[in-house]
Structure formats: structure tokens, C-alpha cells
Amino acid sequence: MDQMSKVTIIYDSRTGHTEKMAHAVAAGVLGGGVEAIVKRVDYATSDDLLTSDGVVLGSPCCYGQMSWKMKKFLDDNVHIWGKIDGKIGAAFVSGTAIGGGCELTAMSLLTGLISFGFLVFGVTEFISDELAVHYGAIALQEPRGGELKACRRLGEKMAEYVLQQAFAPVAS
């Protein structure tokens, strides 16, 4: 394969916490040998969804849902529905408190990706004794230590899955 696989990380951030997570995800993707593009949702386009081998969406938790900017981005790209089937997707979320809806937010991001035809995943392993990232990486307040490790691991897994997809035999 002549062209390097590419993952685009699209995020919204109000406090800088989700942005910090986006760059940690990108570090994991790069460490896995895949090109990583980091874009604030304000500058993301349908081409980012169409030309990437994988997409990771990141949002602050807004009452258990993705931010309105991320929702608008997905809604505005309904015209490419059905053109993405089989690409890899994942999510990460920043929030303020346990029980504040971060897992629901991650699920809303994953549901958006599934609706476009992405194959989505979480990370089915413990990052530390108390931190697992079933639906994607989640940070409460400013991401530190284990939370940034979870973001990097999410990126590593994304790179792994994108490369598996790139070199998988094509069914006839």
C-alpha cells in the first residue's frame, strides 16, 4: 500500500480539556504507525469523514450528550450517509463529575458514527486498577496520568484496527 493510513481526530472543547485529550489520542495513533490529523469541529468537513481510514470524535459532556457543535457537524453531513460503511470509529469525552453523563455522551458519539456506517470500539482492558474505558476514553476535570494514558491507548487501538482493515483481504 503506497498511501499511509490516516486517522482524523475531530473534537470540540470549551475548557481545553477535550483538546488535551485529542492530542493524547493523536500521540497513540502516531505511535501505532498511522498518520494523525487533529481538528477542532469548527474546521472539520465531510472530506475528513470520507478520506480518513478512521475517525475519533471527542466532546465535552453536555448534560449527558455531545456538544451542540458536534451534533451539528454530524447533522450537516447527512448528505454523505452510506458512503462511509466499514471505516473505524471511536470516541472520547471530558466531563466534570462521576455520574454526570460521560458514558452517555460517549454512547451518543458512537451512535453518530454507527449511523454513518463506522465500525466502533472501546478499549476492553484496564488502564490502571481503577480505570477502564469501555465506551472510549473519559476524563473528569483536567485529564492527567491514567486518563491521558487511556487516550493514548485508544489511539493505539485505533491505529491497530485501521492497519488491520488496510491489509485485510478484499472479499470478492
Q: What is the pLDDT of residue 171?
A: 58
Mean pLDDT, rounded, of the chain: 91
What proportions of the chain, in percent to the nearest 5, are helix, strand and coil?
A: 40, 25, 30
pLDDT band at 82 (very low <50, low <70, confident <90, very high): confident
Is the domain spanning 6-166 CATH 3.20.20.140? The answer is: no
> Each residue of 8-31: pLDDT tens digit?
999 999 999 999 999 999 999 999
Reported pTM = 0.93
CB 58 within 8 A of CB 22: yes
> Each residue of 130-162: pLDDT tens digit?
666 688 899 988 999 888 999 999 999 999 999
d(CA 132, CA 108): 19
What are the structural domain ranges in the chain? 6-166
